[in-house]
Chains A and B, each alone.
Chain A
Amino acid sequence: MQNATQWGVLLLPLLAALDVATGATAGDNAATFGVDQTAPGIFVHIGKPVALDAPGHDDIANIGFVTGKRCIAVIDTGGSVKIGRELRAAIRQHSSLPVCYVITTHGHVDHVLGNAAFKDDGAHFVGHAMLPDALMRSRDLFLRDYAEDLDAPATPAQIIGPDETVPIGNEMTLDLGGRTLTLRAWPKAHTDSDLTVYDSQTHTLWTGDLLFIRRTPVLDGSVKGWLAAIDSLARMDARHVIPGHGPPTDKPAEALEPERRYLQLLLTAVHAQIARGDSLQQALREPDPPEKANWLLWDEAHRHNVARVYQELEWE
């Protein structure tokens, strides 16, 4: 079981890479969409490590579901209604229980656009208290630039936010029947709407994008808040961790370390640039540090992060 899981984790990104190499499009997902059971009742579909403008861009986040005795909670739904439907079909292969909750870990496109696939299931949509704001802010962008990932014609009604929210710094428990999930809403970190999901039965922690493994972390919230969140995550009693991007792991402390190192490096470097009077333009021109070698899709994220950190620090 353990071995099978690890192979699955290793193989999926390879298959994803093959998809890209052979020019396969999102239309081929039906053949490859799979879920791994990383612990009893915990099912994960591993997102592909491809760019946000590459084929398969709607299938880059880790998404999945947790089964109780009474019902099922979905955790993130992918970057298109189509991926949401693939997930829904995968759920039906494992269980006939109803979906009672659709949990969104934050408002980024690759985690939330599949929500519409679950709109007729009578489920509650649950998210961070700031998630409605984040989705409203992104609404026009989603409708314009991600229309192809929604059902035609793309309508605002397909962008589904939470009907139940967790206040910042608070927790909420969801009862699935014999299994309780604990949701926690974080202060500004990766974004301003980060939510984690913890299953005490298997000690599984879904971090959402508070944890990136291998894929370069993307900062849209606060670098200082994120580093603080990493410290808190490291103290949680998690034996299995499902990151927002990258392979699930049974070694949370080790898995958090590269991300902590990267964000700390970013913070230190930009702090020094501001201190010596560099402009934002100069900060963005800085050559890549050797740290680049440790991450995938660096160019998609790093300079964005520099710009965000610069603006965070310059008013301190």
Chain B
Amino acid sequence: MICMRRGASPGAAARQPKSPALFLSGFLLALPLLALGDSQQTPTIGVWPTLRPHFYGTRSISEEGDALMNVEAPGSTPDPSATPVTIHFGEGLAATLKQVRVIIDNNPSPLVATFDMSPTLPVDQIDLRVRIDRFTSVRAIAETTDGHLEMRSTWVNASGGCSTPPSASSGGTLGEIRFRPSAGGKVLQVSIRHPNNSGFQIDPRTGDAIAPHFISHITLRAGEKTVLAADTGISISENPTLRIAARTPLPAPLTVEATDVPTQARYTATWNP
């Protein structure tokens, strides 16, 4: 009927969050057990404690206040192969953003994307679609131009990236770029037709892993000026989709350029409303 299930392992009941607070206490209590547990079935503590010093050293990171910033994703993903993640930035943050990182703790490749922002394009919302491999925290860390760090996260329950078949729109012209503007030009969705193969998928005919082939870099340019640049990885879903929203109409024309690995092919298109 459906391959996905919420709570796949026998210990599932213990990790079904009833409320964030309740869940957190259960999670902490379970830690010694988790360390010994089967890594295939038990949510591990995640890679954040390892990545934090690597990216941010010992700098303090604020985590207070939903109005300033928040991360939204379905608590239980309806499609593990394409889970929407939305990062909202409040007025106080949008204009001063320098960089935004998105991390999925328990994915095989936790670093989803790194966005370099520009004051020319004060974005107050970024939408992505990601693969969620298993029950995990999804977090975004924003760095402002004056070096301040803000982090917000949310929990997503998922199972296995599922066996959902390639979407009905799989295939098409590799690298075709579609623009879907809305809200009077203040919102723009950019979609790139690309399998974004992670290297973890199995070729059904041979049983071998499919070689990684994914979009590694996306830039948005207004004229000669780069207004947003993103390094992206294999946690981004098939047909990578980036949606940005601002308080004022986006600059136009806007040129998108995407690069994939390992072919280094470049795909480009210009939105000129």
Contact = CB atoms under 8 A, between A and B. Distances in A.
Interface of A: 52-53, 57, 60-61, 107-111, 132-142, 144-146, 148, 188, 191-192, 209, 215, 218, 220-225, 244-245, 274, 276-281, 284, 300-301, 303-308, 311-316
A6 to B, nearest CB: 24
B191 A314 contact: yes
Pick the most buried of B2, B12, B203: most chain A CB atoms within 10 A of its CB: B2
B84 A281 contact: yes
B9 A145 contact: yes
- Sort A-B residue pairs by CB-CB distance and give the 6 closest, nearest first: A277-B182, A138-B163, A133-B204, A145-B8, A312-B168, A136-B204
A145 B202 contact: no
B169 A312 contact: yes
Interface in B102-117: none
Contacts of B1: 52, 60-61, 108-111, 209, 215, 218, 244-245
Contacts, number: 144
B212 interface: no
Chain B contact residues: helix, strand, loop or mixed: loop
B178 A280 contact: no
A281 B9 CA distance: 28
B183 interface: yes
Interface string B218-255: 00000000000000000000010101000000000000
Interface stretch (B47-55, B71-79, B139-147, B263-271): B71-79
B213 interface: no
B15 interface: no
A8 B269 CA distance: 61
12 contacts: A134-B165, A135-B204, A141-B159, A218-B2, A274-B180, A279-B86, A279-B127, A279-B243, A280-B129, A301-B2, A308-B164, A308-B167
A224 B5 CA distance: 25
A315 B239 contact: yes
Given A145-B159, A244-B1, A139 B202 contact: yes
Nearest to A133: B204
Interface of B: 1-10, 12, 40-41, 72, 74, 78-79, 82, 84-86, 127, 129, 159-165, 167-169, 172, 178, 180-183, 187, 189, 191, 193, 202-205, 207, 239, 241, 243
A277 B12 contact: no
A138 B3 contact: yes
A61 B180 CA distance: 40
A91 to B, nearest CB: 23
A139 B160 CA distance: 11
A281 B86 contact: yes
A111 B160 CA distance: 19
B160 A141 contact: yes
Contacts of A133: 204-205
A179 to B, nearest CB: 28
B79 A308 contact: yes
Nearest to B72: A281
B243 to A, nearest CB: 6
A52 B2 contact: yes
Contacts of B187: 277
Pick the most buried of B10, B162, B187: most chain A CB atoms within 10 A of its CB: B162
Contact of A311 (B3, B4, B168, B182): B168
Contacts of B165: 134, 137, 188, 191-192, 220-221
A213 B87 CA distance: 39
A148 B10 contact: yes
B82 A221 contact: no
Contact of A315 (B72, B162, B182, B193): B193
A279 B168 CA distance: 18
A141 B167 contact: no
B2 A300 contact: yes
B59 to A, nearest CB: 30
A238 B220 CA distance: 57
Nearest to A145: B8
A142 B5 CA distance: 11
Nearest to A277: B182
Given A137-B204, A141-B3, A311-B82, 7 more contacts: A52-B4, A53-B8, A140-B160, A280-B129, A300-B2, A312-B169, A314-B191
Contacts of A303: 74, 78
Contacts of A315: 169, 172, 178, 191, 193, 239
Contacts of A301: 2
A187 to B, nearest CB: 11
B127 A304 contact: no
A168 B187 CA distance: 41
A108 B1 CA distance: 5
Given A145-B9, A280-B129, A281-B86, A304 B4 contact: yes
